[in-house]
Amino acid sequence: MRRNWMKWSLWVVAVVVLSLPVASWAQLTTQDIAARDNMEAHVGNLTGHANSGQAKYDYRRYCVGCHGDLGDGNGEVAQWLDPPMWPKPRDFQLGIFKCRSTPTGTLPTDQDLYDAISRGFDRSAMPIWNVFTKQQRVDLVAFVKHFSPRFVSEKPGTPIQIPPEPEVTADRVKNGREIFARVQCWKCHGVTGQANGPSASTLQDDLGRPIAAFNFTEGARPKCGSTDQDIYRIFMTGLDGTPMPSFADNIKPDEAWDLVFYLRTLMAQPSKEKDIARQLGLKPVSPNP
Ligand code: HEC
Ligand code: HEC
């Protein structure tokens, strides 16, 4: 009985795994996409419309070169972008996004997409679009969404709860170091945060393209925001489509703050945490505890 069940579950897993790449190969046509022309986006009290003249104009003028006519990331410029140095433009048809306030595997909120567009992506060709009016950006969010059928069949995830930020203390920084060691952030990011861990050179994104881990030490801006809250969100939701996982199941909310504080000690920017680490004479974690 048990064996039979195992056999069945293996089959189910095999079918699901095999159908994943097929689903993403299936190209959507212009007609499929036109069917979602009335897609909306809501940010604050603004409503964006995919079928507004402004959205269509702005997308064609400013986004199409990279993200392509069909939103599949195959714009003219894409061929010149070589990962890991230059990540490829996002394929909007897949509906998979790096910067989310929502749990891994779920759709981002409209606000998340709005923030990503406004912020731009450091260490990539994706520009900062904060010169647009808010309305233009909300229209573009609706336009980005209309490329993926996921936004018709699924609701965005519920944003994760972030508890209020506690006071930084030496104990919290030390505890953050323990967590960095325990959940093995160093495997990719390296014990000193220089993106040179044992797995770093073999990392690939979900589309099989080489991808670099984040180097904490060179003063680079995280793609999904640089505030303490942003950093907290990054490792508790993960960057979907990349090897950067969600640690929501392995790190408790209060511990997560300690980890944020420890990450600050690795970063180039001066901080209270860096001062504390210096006073403590804190050493990098050991890969072989
Ligand atoms: C010069 C090329 C280029 C242009 C122009 C461009 N993008 Fe991008 N965009 C990218 C690249 C490259 C990425 C992926 C970056 C990464 O994964 O690190 C990206 C990613 C994104 C994402 C994904 C956000 C996430 O959380 O995963 C959105 C949304 C987006 N772009 C919207 C836009 C919009 C809207 C425009 C036009 C106003 C635009 N982009 C113009 C190159 C471009
Ligand atoms: C399996 C490899 C792997 C592990 C383990 C891993 N990361 Fe990452 N991490 C990555 C990759 C790859 C990126 C770069 C993603 C990108 O640029 O699209 C990244 C990016 C990041 C970023 C920057 C995100 C941004 O917005 O640019 C932070 C912060 C981060 N990781 C923190 C952590 C922490 C904290 C841990 C442990 C709790 C951890 N990572 C574990 C692979 C990993």
Higher pLDDT, 274 or 25: 274
**Whether the CB of 113 sits within 6 Å of ligand 1:** yes
Range with lowest mean pLDDT among 15-19, 147-151, 270-274: 15-19
- Which amino acids bring their CB within 6 angstroms of ligand 2? 98, 183-185, 187-189, 199, 203, 211, 213-214, 222-224, 231, 234-235, 239, 242-244, 247, 259, 263
3-state helix, strand, coil in the chain (%, to 5): 45, 5, 50
Question: Picking from 1-5, 36-40, 218-222, 244-248, which range would have the lowest pLDDT averaged per residue?
Answer: 1-5
- Class of 34-153 per CATH? mainly alpha
What are the tens digits of pLDDT across the range 31-54? 888 889 999 999 999 999 999 999
CB 103 within 8 Å of CB 112: no
Predicted local confidence at residue 63, as pLDDT: 98
Residue 4 is predicted with a pLDDT of: 67
Report the relative pairing of strands 46-49 and 40-43 from DSSP bridges. Answer: antiparallel
Which ligand has an atom closest to residue 267 CA? 2
Among 21-30, 45-54, 235-244, the range scoring the smallest mean pLDDT is 21-30
Give me the residue spans of the domains in the chain.
Answer: 34-153, 170-280
pLDDT, average across residues 187-207? 98
Query: Quick check: 16 pLDDT over 60?
Result: no
Contact 80, 88 (CB under 8 A): no
Q: What percent of the chain has pLDDT over 70?
A: 91
* Fold of the 170-280 domain: Cytochrome Bc1 Complex; Chain D, domain 2 (1.10.760)
Greater confidence (228 vs 288) lies with 228
Q: What is the pLDDT of residue 8?
A: 65
Better-predicted residue by pLDDT, 114 or 11: 114
- Helical residues (DSSP H) of the chain, grouped into ranges: 2-25, 30-34, 53-58, 64-67, 110-119, 134-145, 150-153, 170-182, 186-189, 228-237, 253-266, 272-280
Predicted local distance difference test score (pLDDT) of residue 31: 86
By most ligand atoms within 8 Å of CB, the mutation choice from 61, 62, 90 for ligand 1 is 90
Q: pTM here?
A: 0.92
The residue nearest atom 11 of ligand 2, judged by CA position, is: 213
Report the percentage of the chain scoring pLDDT > 90: 87
How far away, in angstroms, is 186 Cα from ligand 2 center? 10
